[in-house]
Amino acid sequence: MSFAVMRRAARESVSGLPREFWWLWTSTLVNRLGAFVATFMALYLTLDRGYSASYAGLVASLHGLGGVISSLGAGVMTDRLGRRPTLLIAQVSTAFSVALLGFMHHPVAIAAVAFLVGMTSNASRPAVQAMMADIVRPEDRVRAFSLNYWAINLGFAVSSMAAGFIAEFSYLAGFLIEAGMTLACALVVFAKLPESRPVQSVKETEAEDGVGLGTVLRDRRFMSVVGLSFLVALVFQQGFVGLPVAMGQAGFTPADYGMAVAVNGVLIVALQIPVTRFIEHRDPMRLLVVSSLLAGYGFGLTAFAGSVGVFALTVCVWTLAEIVNAPTQTGLVVRLSPVHGRGRYQGMYTLSWALAALVAPLMSGLVIDRFGAEWLWGLCAVVGTVAGVGYWVLMRRLPAEGEWATPAPVAAKTEVSAV
């Protein structure tokens, strides 16, 4: 492929998206470029502070629990307060809590502030996704979500490399730099992003007032997507919780695991945009079914890996699944979310990933300890298959594309105000 063709393809991948999207994209990239704390938290607690690995695991779990709780609360805020205020509150609170965490010394204080960091850092996700759905045309949403996902992974790849150098100099510097960059994201939102929540008529406002979390829970079609998302997320999480444990038990070093899993970030950065161009206008049902199967059987193949190279090949398989699944599934969530309830719906979707982050370490540890790593990889194949079948059944019953965002039912007049 000539350079001119590649340049034209790149230009077409980013053309036609509104300016507000690119400011939101820039905010995402800056946020992920500064995401140092999650990378070195375990090393900080065990090496710098001298705590046990069990305590480090407890802090990580509390951080994840904070994210679970904030998923729903932030979704409600996104609909009631608006996308922009929720983003500002979440990012300023994250900057404050991350900086505070760097100065905590008592184990109870560290655990409490880590829980707060988990809550605040996860609170921006429903607002970002709802705002992106608001400002991008339906036909461009898969491409927009893909570009945003690409920014997340590019930022994470850079921050992961930088975190090691920063930690050698000063862990506190890492906390303060992340706080500063998160505050910079808030400034971008404040200066460049207007509120995107659609202007509503009186009838639509009444409909919004009737869309509570109970409405979302009663939306069986959408909750089916949340359940399938949870299954897929459980599988993807094993690349970062089950895989390092299994490789360690098999005699591989942390450096070996690092080389194998680094393929994930490299491939996403290299392939996310061209793959998205290939899948952008293809049948989402097939994409979700195929990506679920690729994820399940990609991890299933890990049972046969005996070298770092083979482990890296299995990472290639499930990374391709991730590249296809992420923008397609996010687009499906928008497709099923009523305009006046996008925040709550996005919050429930975010909850599926937060819960998977909590459950996956417990699942992998239990299965590996009792049955062996091979059973974990076999279970991943089963879960991926179940998710694929689930998407096939669900998507066959969806309305036509023009009817994607169906309005949620208005609550009865006797219902107390929605959450």
Read out DSSP for 37-103?
Answer: HHHHHHHIIIIIS---HHHHHHHHHHHHHHHHHHHHHHHHHHHHT-HHHHHHHHHHHHHHHHHHHTT
Asked if residue 350 and residue 325 are part of one domain, the reply reads yes
Number of domains in the chain: 2
pLDDT digits (tens, 9 = 90+) for 298-356: 999 999 998 999 999 999 999 999 999 988 898 888 888 887 777 888 888 888 988 88
Asked if residue 322 and residue 277 are part of one domain, the reply reads yes
Asked if the structure places residue 247 within a domain, the reply is yes
Residue after which a domain boundary falls, among 197, 224, 252:
197
Asked if residue 189 and residue 92 are part of one domain, the reply reads yes
pLDDT digits (tens, 9 = 90+) for 150-189: 888 788 777 767 776 777 778 888 889 989 999 998 898 8
Q: What pLDDT was estimated at residue 66?
A: 86
Query: Residue 307 gets which letter from DSSP?
Result: S
pLDDT band at 112 (very low <50, low <70, confident <90, very high): very high
**How many degrees, rounded to 5, is the angle at CA 410 between CA 409 and CA 414?**
130
Q: What pLDDT was estimated at residue 416?
A: 28
Q: What pLDDT was estimated at residue 399?
A: 59
Asked if residue 171 and residue 64 are part of one domain, the reply reads yes
pLDDT at 394 over 50: yes
Asked if residue 291 and residue 146 are part of one domain, the reply reads no
Predicted TM-score (pTM) of the model is 0.74
pLDDT at 402 over 70: no
Asked if residue 183 and residue 234 are part of one domain, the reply reads no
Alpha carbon separation from 285 to 21, 318, 328, 348 (Å, rounded): 26, 18, 9, 21
CB of 362 closer than 8 Å to CB of 58: no
Alpha carbon separation from 192 to 89, 185, 187 (Å, rounded): 16, 10, 8
Asked if the structure places residue 405 within a domain, the reply is no
Asked if residue 160 and residue 31 are part of one domain, the reply reads yes
Q: What is the span of the domain harbouring residue 363?
A: 213-399
Asked if residue 190 and residue 120 are part of one domain, the reply reads yes
CB of 321 closer than 8 Å to CB of 291: yes
Residue after which a domain boundary falls, among 153, 168, 197:
197
What's the whole-number mean pLDDT along residues 233-237?
A: 93
Asked if residue 366 and residue 226 are part of one domain, the reply reads yes
Q: 78 Cβ partners below 8 Å, 6+ apart?
A: 86, 126, 127, 130, 342, 343, 344, 346, 347
Burial of 303 (0-12, 13-18, 19+ CB in 10 A): middle
What average pLDDT is seen over the chain? Answer: 81
Burial of 103 (0-12, 13-18, 19+ CB in 10 A): exposed
Asked if residue 178 and residue 308 are part of one domain, the reply reads no
Q: What pLDDT was estimated at residue 118?
A: 87
Going by C-alpha positions, the residue among 32, 311, 309, 329 that lies closest to residue 153 is: 32
Q: What pLDDT was estimated at residue 317?
A: 95
Asked if residue 233 and residue 118 are part of one domain, the reply reads no
pLDDT at 202 over 70: no
Asked if residue 227 and residue 162 are part of one domain, the reply reads no
Pair of tokens at residue 345:
């719906």
Asked if the structure places residue 28 within a domain, the reply is yes
